Amino acid sequence: MRSQVVIIGSGPAGLLLGQLLTNAGIDNVILERSSKEHVLSRVRAGVLEEGTVAMLEEAGAGRRMRREGLPHDGFDVAFDGKHHRIDLFGLTGGKRVMVYGQTELTHDLMDAREAAGTETVYEAADVAPHDFDGDQPYVTYRKEGVTHRIDCDFIAGCDGYHGISRRSVPERAISLFERTYPFGWLGILVDVPPVSDELIYCNHRRGFALCSMRSTTRSRYYVQCLLDDRTEDWPDERFWDEIRRRLPEDVAQRMKTGKSFEKSIAPLRSFVAEPMRFGRLFLAGDAAHIVPPTGAKGLNLACGDVRYLFDGLQEYYTGKSAAGIDAYSAKALSRVWKAERFSWWMTTTLHLFPETGAFGRRIQEAELDYLVHSRAASMALAENYVGLPF
């Protein structure tokens, strides 16, 4: 079998790239290790930048998001028992974000792909990219005990942090940059109305907390937890008790609680692989970089990579120029590092780092006080949060 582009992974990066390629008449196949149901069961991101929203629309998969997504013009930063609004719309000259779950976005892109009749192979085992340093790359995989081979022009490694694409690159050809944080996020989903119309990011002596949502009737809440905590350590009663202690009094008092139907713990990590292109293999999304979720950047960065990669591939096929794909890695990394910086900064400012001691705590207090009382500092936060331009 032959396809112009083989995409490894059907997360947001792979699906969005696939849909843009299909619409541009460039044939592609997605090879996904898991089942469709498994991919759709992962609860992750919730905040989309305007650029991401525009790309979903460009891909023809934005209709439900426009109908059901919640546009947000600001969010609150809470500390020291008080909360302060960051007016995203006012501070950025009219930009906002869209609250719409990654699960829904993935669903919409899968539906669009099915409607277009483009192939996805789910439960593809032992996917392996080959010969991408030459000009006749191919990908092999196993399905129901049979080995298959797809010859292609290009391979897009959109298979996330644990994928095979990055690990297929010889060690000497790749540089890795990494920082891990000494805590995780415990997140729950619960069908009660959100405590506020907008998100609340909260710094507290007991640790970070975040109030987010999926709809006007479904809340998504997080608390900073220990790295070795397990969900069994956190029955709902403990979770509600803890998040209420961290939030400002007025917020804690009006918070509606209920039985959670999803609970998971995620470690926090900053990670970048350089470069993002190896001959005819391109890495995009979490396969190339990870940010801690505090800045809500992971999914949006994946879509930013897809912007540059799709434009480059389209230029290659229609304009007969390799300039776009040649510039891909440098362009993507320049944007990636800015989002890495922002996510690291937001994480550092809002979480409890016991090892930094009393000095670290005072610096954090000064940073937060400066942030909410200086228009320049608030503007810098807002500009990064709504997303730097592509």
Residue 46 interacts with ligand RFL (CB under 6 A)?
yes
Tell me whether residue 54 or residue 361 sits nearer to ligand RFL (CB atom): 54
Residue 13 interacts with ligand RFL (CB under 6 A)?
yes
> Token match 């192979």: residue?
121
Report the nearest approach of ligand RFL to the CB of residue 365 (Å).
Answer: 26
Residue 343 interacts with ligand RFL (CB under 6 A)?
no
Question: Helices (DSSP H) in 255-390: which residue ranges?
Answer: 298-318, 323-350, 357-373, 375-386
Residue 294 interacts with ligand PHB (CB under 6 A)?
yes
Residue 46 interacts with ligand PHB (CB under 6 A)?
yes
Site for ligand PHB in 219-238 (CB under 6 A): 220
Residue 9 interacts with ligand RFL (CB under 6 A)?
yes
Stretch that binds ligand RFL, among 155-163, 238-246, 248-256, 344-352 (CB under 6 A): 155-163
Count of beta carbons in the 10 Å neighbourhood of residue 2: 12
CA–CA distance, 107 with 109 (Å, rounded to integer): 6
100 is catalytic: no
Tell me whether residue 59 or residue 199 sits nearer to ligand PHB (CB atom): 199
- Contact predicate 105/63, CB 8 Å: no
Indicate which single residue of 158, 202, 273, 325 sits in contact with ligand RFL (rule: CB under 6 A). Answer: 158
Residue 302 interacts with ligand RFL (CB under 6 A)?
yes
Residue 214 interacts with ligand RFL (CB under 6 A)?
no
Nearest partner of 135 among 306, 295, 347, 325, judged by Cα: 325
- Token duo for residue 26: 């460039």
Residue 164 interacts with ligand RFL (CB under 6 A)?
yes
The maximal CA–CA distance of the chain, rounded, in angstroms, is 63
Q: With CB cut-offs between 5 and 8 Å by kind, which of ligand PHB, ligand RFL, none does residue 108 bind?
A: none
CA–CA distance, 48 with 74 (Å, rounded to integer): 13
297 is catalytic: yes
- Among left, alpha and beta (phi > 0; psi -120 to 50; other), residue 59 is alpha
DSSP, residue by residue, 122-177: -S-EEEEEE-TTSS--EEEEEETTEEEEEEEEEEEE---TT-STGGGS-GGG-EEE
Catalytic member of 12, 137, 194, 293: 293
Stretch that binds ligand PHB, among 15-23, 289-297, 326-334, 361-369 (CB under 6 A): 289-297
Site for ligand PHB in 191-210 (CB under 6 A): 199
- Token duo for residue 46: 């919730």
CA–CA distance, 91 with 93 (Å, rounded to integer): 6
Report the nearest approach of ligand RFL to the CB of residue 293 (Å).
Answer: 4
Catalytic member of 289, 297, 331, 351: 297
Nearest partner of 296 among 355, 246, 346, 232, judged by Cα: 346
Catalytic annotation, residues: 72, 201, 293, 297, 385
Binding residues vs ligand PHB (CB under 6 A): 45-47, 199, 212, 220, 293-294, 296
Binding residues vs ligand RFL (CB under 6 A): 8-14, 31-34, 39, 44-47, 102, 124, 127, 158-160, 162-164, 185, 187, 266, 285-286, 293, 296-300, 302
